[in-house]
Structure 1
Amino acid sequence: MAALLDRLGRFSARHRWSVVGAWVLLLAIAGGAFALFGGTLSSTFDIPGTATDKVTTQLERELGKVGGATGTIVFRSADGTALSSAQQKDIAGLLDRIDRKKGVSSTIDPYDTRAQQQANAAKLVAAQEQLTAARAQLAAAKAQGADISAQLGELDARAAQLDAGTRLLSASKDLRMVSADGSTAIGVVQFRDTLLELPASQKAGVASVIDAAHIPGVRIDSSSEFSDQVDGIVGPGEITGVIIAALVLVVMFGAVLPAVMPLVSSLVGVGVGVAGALAFSGTIEMGSVTPVLGLMLGLAVGIDYSLFIINRHRRQLKEGMPPAASIGLANGTSGGAVVFAGSTVLIALLALVVTGIPFLTLMGVVGAACVLVAVLVAITLTPALLSLLGMRVLSRRARARIGHPGHAQTTPRPIRTRRAVLGGALAIVALLAIAVPALSMRLGLPDGSAQAQDSSSYRAYETVAQEFGAGRNGALLVTASLPHAASKADLTTTEAGIVDTLMAQDHVAGVAPIGVNGARDFIAFQVVPTGGPSSVSTEQLVHTLRDDVSLGSGVGVDVAGQASGNIDISEKLASILPTYLAVVVGLSLIIMLVVFRSLLVPVMATAGFVLSFLAALGAMTAVYQWGWLGGVFGVHDPGPVLNFAPVIIVGVLFGLAMDYQLFLVSGMREAYVHGVPARAAVASGLRHGRAVVTAAAIIMISVFGGFVFSHLTAIKPLGFGLAAGVLFDAFVVRMVLIPSLMHLAGRAAWWLPRWLDRMLPHVDIEGSALERPQPHPGATEHRPPARRPRVRTGGRMLPQPAVERR
């Protein structure tokens, strides 16, 4: 592969304008395809086959519109006084306009509902009075000797019906839609489709009516169901991250022109990858997080991969190599490492297919496609741009010092053993301490409380929680499947008995029947919990209703609703995380075994990756669930950790960790096979690679960190987790822990059984065979030219790479 990449680099350099033109054309094609075929993005997530999904399907089959998505509109008087009759009329007019929009099955006027509730209460009072009067009349008739047994039977039946109605009214008395002081009212919009199937265009149609509405003296806020929230894909935070990356490049290169090149390359790659992915959004249901993940990865790895090749080219130019030859060699050596590094990220993302979860699979495929484009840009467009830039890739001062002896490499002293022991121990203890919060990690999807505080959806969520209780933001749908159809006379009594059982459960604020099928053997209830949709109490209630509640002999109980769906998705993702982590860890061991031809190095690399991953989860839990440093990271209402973040972080962090491992440890191996003592080789590889790894890691952290301040609530914790993971892995694991362990292991780090050495394929990731033969600084071993040179490792002899045989 090294020779192929060398030729590709030289070809790109010779035909620089053609290569640049080809990428510009691809960018235009991707942008045009998005403009022509792109569709809308969704903010919802679905896993087919969950308990909630099955119940939702049953609701649609039995009751039709009851299973559709529901959104709320909150009306609140500006001065805190009761809403006037004129304002109430305007509210009814707005809901009537929404009711005529496409996809809306019905709207619920809060004042009509209040009037209906008051009427029902009045009817019950009147019926009770009539019943009391009838009993008095019967008592008088009985005193006169009349036979009243038949009338008493009828009165008892009426009394039972009346009692059932009273119990139903009592259970739903707190489910009001107008606040006690009359200053706030809730309007409900019922869609025909479920939230997961609801077209974004229909939500946007309703949102446009709400946004255009104006009722004097009334503030109107709507819940997040009416918005896909894709307006925050690129904002100030993301731009700041790119600016920081640019500053790092300027400091590293000491010149503006070479610093701009990685940015240009990454932006071209991101444009092609993300626009190309969005072109399929019209035919494939795509979440708003999916292209943002591609954007994050494309920016980060695109800058880093181009940086690796440019850095190698600059170093070679400083040593006096001609530009054309240097471009080819840089592409064949560092470009090979880029291809390997990109392949690890690619494989890890594509491995998301094993989860069997459609939206995760799509995220993995889009992310992998963007990484693939970044690799192709790095090994083709970067050489072309280097050819266009010529010697200006170096600063004036660097050009004046070309060939200076100061550019020659020397071997540093080995790390002190005491320092290695202390550094390794501190690194492990620190990472484990940071990982401790992950032991209490809860997974969930962000609700309205996680939205930006200046957003309409956040105001709607908070107003409902304050005026009507947090549970109104996450009502559950509980269904009862009866073994036998209930008669018309017994239906109210049956409903009341079920409601009594539901009200007896902990964390239930109110219950109300909302529908019964034609056969009267399937009844649906709205159950309002005391806690919000992402609270621990609501999660406990869902499990209690499913597992512990009995509504009678043969009665089946099921739970649906958005809160229930989020719980199911989170539990499914938590259950597949160990499997996916095992796949990634196994992949890591195999890749490292082939690359470094050692048993101990892969174990060290993989253990370090697991430590950095656990520390990233611990940091996420502390910030987003516990609320630590919430003011810094914009966490105003702590809640569960984003449920799909751990799975995504495993895949991405694995690939990046292997990148840093390659660029550091391959330098150690190169020095060792050239005859440098094992411990001195560790110091040599660390000094050789730490500058570029440091710059690459800072760039990654800057780009990922920029997304922490995104308006997309599902992106903020993902950006934080990736930034924290890169921070821990690059600066603690790869630069402290791994060198310390490698130093302590000494020659044993490179031991490999002879039989396994024969089985493993020989790879030359860094393209050592392309480099000119020259003695490595610090090498002391003499090898006769007539004999195939070998290096003793772990009690046996290993053949050296091809560069050593020339």
Structure 2
Amino acid sequence: MERPLDRLGRLCARRPWRTLVLWLLAAGVLLGVGQAAGSTFVNDFRVPGTESQEATDVARDHFPTFGVVSATVVWSAEEGSLQDPARQAAVRQMIEAMRGQPDVAAVDDPFPSPDGRAAMVNVDYEKELGELDGTHYERLREAAEPAQDAGLRVEFRGAVVDLGTEPTTSAAELVGVGAALLVLIIAFGSLAAAGLPLLVAGVGIVVGTAIVLLIGLIVDIPTSAPIIAVMLGLGAGIDYALFVLSRFRSILAHGEDKVRAAGHATAAAGHAVVFAGGTVVVAILGLSFAGIPFVGAMGVAGAVTVAVMVVAAITLLPALLGLLGHRVNALPVPKLTKRARASAGKPDDESGPTYRWGRHVQRHRVLYALLSTALLLALTAPVLSLRLGTPDDGIQPTRNTQRQAYDMIAEHYGPGWNAPLVITVTDTSEMGVNAFAGALATDPDVELVTPPTTSEDGEITLITAIPRYAPQDQEVSDLVHRIRDTIGPDSLASTGGTALVGGATAVVIDMADVVGKRLPWVILAVVGAGMVLLLFMFRAPVVALKAAVMTLLSIGVSFGVIIAMFQWGWGLDLLGIDKSVPVMSAVPMILFAVLFGLSMDYEVFLLSAVRESYDKDRDPHRAVVVGIGTTARVISAAAIIMACVFLSFVSVPETLIQMIGIGLATAVIMDATVIRMVLVPAVMSLLGNAAWWRPGRKPAPRPAAIDGPADTPGTVGGEQDPESQRV
């Protein structure tokens, strides 16, 4: 692959303006078409093959208005009474205004709370969620002004409200980009060089987002998917450009002309970028095995964006490098420039700290292997208490109207009113319905059972059960399974009917069950695909297996930190969350796929350097030291950048984004420090030549471990000698 990449890099560097124009045209056209087509992002939480989905489908077949898009409006009198004539008139005015709004199909009559201090209505819409926008929520707020002027507190929740209050990522992006720029300036000592990775990533984000918009015309893309795609795109795009740019500057410093340097850098670093990015893309696409459409759609959005970043790193960046040449070091920062040039200007110096560290780890390889493994396993231990769920409005920031509406309902109606179970009974006989409703009402975890509603065709009956507990409480999950396993079958046995438990709460429970069943298959598919790619690149089965195991360890640490923080509540106040929550069902799958790919980035870059040295002198111990010495500085900078980008998105007030951001940042930090700088060199030293064994080839004799500076001259330090990179 190096030869075609070398030609591609030279071609783009030789015709920079043509390449730049093509990229800018692609960005403009794709973004324009996507916006003109009116594509929107929609949360479709269907879980095919589950009972809750079957209950929803059956109910919709017999109740045309079942499951329509709606909003809940709840109001309360903090002081005085709801029965005040002025307040009653204001409420009537509010409801009439809502009934007259565009796209509103119906508004229920007010449903008062048992304590008489609150009431609520449902506002049903006649259009699908994708056909609505934030203006519908704004109209609800405007309609509520008379009630608020009368001294009532009015809050909102529901899909339409979520649509009108979607979190923005502009602040997070600015913080992430700012932190990345600072790290790049320190690494390169030049404002021009520091700005290039950000420019490449920025163009890639525009193109990737435009493609995701177009994909949204074909499949439903969740509202969180673009945020996750931007997060991954920024992190991966800056890192990929960083690796190619670092190699280009080193080769340029050795006297190569800018076109040849761009070609060699694309061949050397770009080769690793393609394989690393390919691993990320394949791993994320493995989410399609989840069996949950919205999880698979998130994978598609992330994979598309990362793929665009790979293409940008091997085409757009070489064009910019060919355009700038030695001006890539323009706008220097004096003190930082001196240090950066000293590092790049003496690539043969193996007395640097990273080389010394590599030799130190080799001398104590057994101890470091045991200690680092023990640390990683200890941080992974919380995984044993993993509990899946989907946090609801109850964990949103207290300033959000959805959270305030949730709390008002729990206070005045009871916590179970936020977790209604809508049960579809395929039996309309009086005996069967009464038997089921009676058995349901006697369950100790059921607060209320609503009167049965029979469809016009007389084929099914709907019954709503209100639990005594909040949606995320284990008792609600136990109740759902008890209805399915015991209450329904026992009470309907004589009539032959069935009871299908549905509703949003049941969907969440079924999603957790599906994730528990499918996660092993997703892991198998992702790990298998990753190992195949590594085998294709290095042709070393032991290295591929070792890489998979190391990656699983970093993923385990990520899961452990998320569980300790969100499920156990450690440090949640830092995020503005006032109570612990279960891990969102989609998070383990998304994190595993993304982290497996991203962890392979550093594995590929490190092992590429190790393999290059090993192929020269067949000394596995020295190859490990050279690999660490030549990549540690760049990998560290890349890891800091990626961690800063991921952590910046924790400011987005959405639990899914916060969990993924913290999980990704944790894994990247641990991967670039404990794993790449300690465990990998220790294990590679223990394996020796066996690490590079190929089937049918006898391993080379195992040299002694390196205890001091290497005696073999000619090995390049900070970067590989450009002549050795020529294809």
Residue matched to 1:186:
120
Q: Distance in 1 between matches of 2:227 and 2:711?
A: 47
Give the conservation status (yes or no) of the 8 Å contact 1:38–1:279.
Answer: no
Q: Does 1:337 align with 2:277?
A: no
- Deviation per CA, 1:402-456: give whole Å up to 9, x if none: 9997332437463355632232222211221122222221222231012222111
Q: 1:746 maps to which residue?
A: 688
- 2:719 is matched with which residue? none
Please report how far the alpha carbon of residue 595 of structure 1 lies from its aligned counterpart in structure 2 after TM superposition.
2.6
Alignment partners' CA distance in 2, 1:298 and 1:108: 45
Higher mean C-alpha displacement, 533-542 vs 65-74: 65-74
Letter in 1 for 2:483: L
1:23 and 2:30 aligned: no
| CA separation of 1:61 and 1:416: change in aligned 2, threshold 3 A | closer
TM-aligned CA deviation for residue 223 of structure 1: 0.9
Query: Quick one: structure 1 residues 659 and 519, their matched pair in 2 at CA, closer, same or farther if it must change by over 3 Å?
Result: closer
CA distance in 1, matches of 2:80, 2:624: 70
2:658 maps to 1:719: no
Q: What residue number does 1:266 align with?
A: 201
Question: Which residue number corresponds to residue 258 of structure 2?
Answer: 323
Report the secondary structure of 1:548's partner residue. Answer: helix
Q: For 1:461, which of 406, 422, 436 is the aligned residue? A: 406
Q: For residues 390 and 15 of structure 1, what CA distance do their matches in structure 2 show?
A: 13
CA offset digits 1:4-31 (Å, max 9, x no partner): 2222222222221222222111111122
| Matched AA of 1:325 | R
> Deviation at 1:737?
0.9
Structure 1 segments unaligned to the other structure (5+ residues)? 114-176, 758-775, 782-801
Written as runs of structure 1 = structure 2, the 5 A alignment for 1:297-316 is: 297-316=232-251
Matched ranges for 1:411-490 at <5 A: 412=355, 414-417=359-362, 419-482=364-427, 486=429
Aligned in 2, Cα 1:325/1:294: closer, same or farther, shift over 3 Å?
A: same
2:578 counterpart SS class: coil
Residue matched to 1:34: 34
- Asked whether the equivalents of residues 16 and 385 of structure 1 are also in contact (C-alpha less than 8 Å), the reply is yes
Contact 1:238 1:703 (C-alpha < 8 Å) held by counterparts: yes
TM-aligned CA deviation for residue 66 of structure 1: 4.2
Q: Which residue of 2 aligns with 1:547?
A: 485
Q: For 1:98-120, what per-residue CA distance to the aligned partner results, in whole angstroms no more than 9, with x for missing partners?
A: 2344554432222xx5xxxxxxx
Counterpart contact for 2:41–2:130, Cα < 8 Å: no
Rounded to whole Å, the distance in 1 between the matches of 2:218 and 2:608 is 44
| Kept after mapping to 1: 8 A contact 2:282/2:526 | no
Output the amino acid matched with 1:90: A
- AA partner of residue 220 (structure 1): V
Q: What's 1:505 paired with?
A: 443
The correspondence for 2:144, drawn from 213, 231, 241, is: 213
Could you tell me how far 1:527 is from its partner in structure 2?
0.5
Contact 1:75 1:221 in 2 (8 A): yes
Displacement of 1:351 in angstroms is 2.5
Aligned to 2:718: none
Counterpart check, 1:530 vs 2:468: yes
- In structure 2, the CA distance between the partners of 1:36 and 1:804, relative to structure 1 (3 Å rule), is closer
Q: Is the 1:320–1:403 contact (alpha carbons within 8 Å) kept by the matching residues of 2?
A: no
Aligned to 1:674, what secondary structure does the other structure show?
helix
Preserved contact between residue 551 and residue 557 of structure 1 (Cα < 8 Å) = no
**C-alpha distance 268-416 of structure 1, shift in aligned 2 (>3 A):** closer
Q: Equivalent pairs: percent with the same residue?
A: 33
Number of the residue aligned with 2:509: 567
Residue 805 (structure 1) shift = 12
In the aligned structure 2, how far is the partner of 1:404 from the partner of 1:517? 76
- The CA deviation at 1:199 is 3.9
Correspondence list, 1:148-163, <5 A: none
Match of 2:631 in 1: 689
Shift of 1:401: 6.3
- Structure 1 counterpart SS, 2:153: strand
CA distance in 1: counterparts of 2:327 and 2:685, whole angstroms: 39
Deviations 1:500-522 (A, max 9, x none): 31122132111112411346563
Structure 1 residues 398 and 780, CA, compared in 2 at 3 Å: closer, same or farther? closer
Give the Cα–Cα distance (whole angstroms) in 1 for the partners of residues 303 and 472 of structure 2: 31
Q: TM-score, normalised by structure 2?
A: 0.89
TM-score normalised by structure 1 residue count = 0.81
Residues in 1 aligned to 2:92 and 2:170: alpha-carbon distance in whole angstroms: 37
For the pair shown, the structure with the greater C-alpha radius of gyration is 1
What SS does the aligned partner of 1:223 have? Answer: strand
For residue 36 of structure 1, report the CA deviation from its aligned partner. 0.5
One-letter amino acid matched to 2:350: T
1:227: which partner in 2? 161
- Mapped partners of 2:344, 2:168: distance in 1: 47
Task: Report the residue type matching 2:404 in the other structure.
Answer: R
Deviation of 1:307 (Å)? 0.5
The partner residue of 2:283 within 340, 345, 348 is: 348
Cα 1:95/1:514, change in 2 over 3 Å: farther
The answer to whether the Cα contact below 8 Å between 1:235 and 1:710 also exists between their aligned partners in 2 is no
Match of 2:76, SS state, is strand
Partner of 1:506, secondary structure, is: coil
Where 1:636 maps in the other structure, the secondary structure is coil
Superimposed CA distance per residue, residues 733-769 of structure 1 (whole angstroms, 9 cap, x where no aligned partner): 2221111111122222222232699xxxxxxxxxxxx
1:769-804 alpha-carbon deviations (Å, 9 max, x no partner): xxxxxxx975489xxxxxxxxxxxxxxxxxxxx969
Q: Residue 40 of structure 1: SS of its match in structure 2?
A: coil
Amino acid at match of 1:426: L
Q: Does 1:629 align with 2:564?
A: no
Report the equivalent of 2:582: 640
Shift of 1:714: 2.7
Greater CA deviation, 526-535 or 74-83? 74-83
Report how many aligned residue pairs link the two structures: 693
Q: Partner amino acid for 2:158? A: S
Aligned mates of 2:408, 2:650 — CA distance in 1? 26
Quote how far apart the aligned CAs of 1:85 are: 2.4
Rate the CA distance shift 1:283–1:101 in 2: closer, same or farther, 3 A. farther
Give unpaired runs (5+ residues) of structure 2: 700-708, 715-722
CA deviation string 1:122-141 (max 9, x = no partner): xxxxxxxxxxxxxxxxxxxx
Give the deviation of 1:695 after TM superposition: 0.9
Are 2:550 and 1:619 aligned? Answer: no
**For 1:695-718, what per-residue CA distance to the aligned partner results, in whole angstroms no more than 9, with x for missing partners?**
111111111111112133332212
CA shift in 2, pair 1:67/1:30, >3 Å: closer
What RMSD in Å do the two structures reach over aligned CA positions?
A: 2.9
Farther off after superposition, 723-732 or 451-460: 723-732
CA drift at 1:570: 2.2
Measured at CA, do residues 264 and 602 of structure 1 come closer, stay the same or move farther in structure 2, by a change above 3 Å?
A: same
Cα distance in 1 for residues equivalent to 2:284 and 2:340: 45
Cα offsets for 1:540-574 (capped at 9, x unmatched): 11111111112242232211111111111222122
Instruction: State the Cα distance separating 1:497 from its structure 2 match.
Output: 4.1
Deviation for aligned residue 1:496: 4.8
Contact 2:10 2:260 in 1 (8 A): yes
Task: Check the 8 A contact 1:286/1:359 in 2, yes or no.
Answer: yes
Q: In terms of mean alpha carbon deviation, does 65-74 or 443-452 score higher?
A: 65-74
The one-letter amino acid paired with 2:376 is: L
Separation in 2, partners of 1:594, 1:277: 30
* Shift, 1:341, TM fit: 1.2
Query: 2:189: which partner in 1?
Result: 254
Greater displacement, 324-333 / 72-81: 72-81
Alpha-carbon distance between aligned partners in 2 of 1:91 and 1:803, rounded to the nearest angstrom: 79
How far apart, in 2, do the equivalents of 1:690 and 1:504 lie? 65
1:62–1:522 contact (8 Å) kept in structure 2: yes
Pairs within 5 Å for 1:230-249: 231-249=166-184
**Aligned to 1:627, what secondary structure does the other structure show?**
coil
Task: Please report how far the alpha carbon of residue 383 of structure 1 lies from its aligned counterpart in structure 2 after TM superposition.
Answer: 1.3
Cα distance in 1 for partners of 2:83, 2:180 equals 53
Is the CA contact (8 Å cut-off) linking 1:665 and 1:686 kept in structure 2?
no
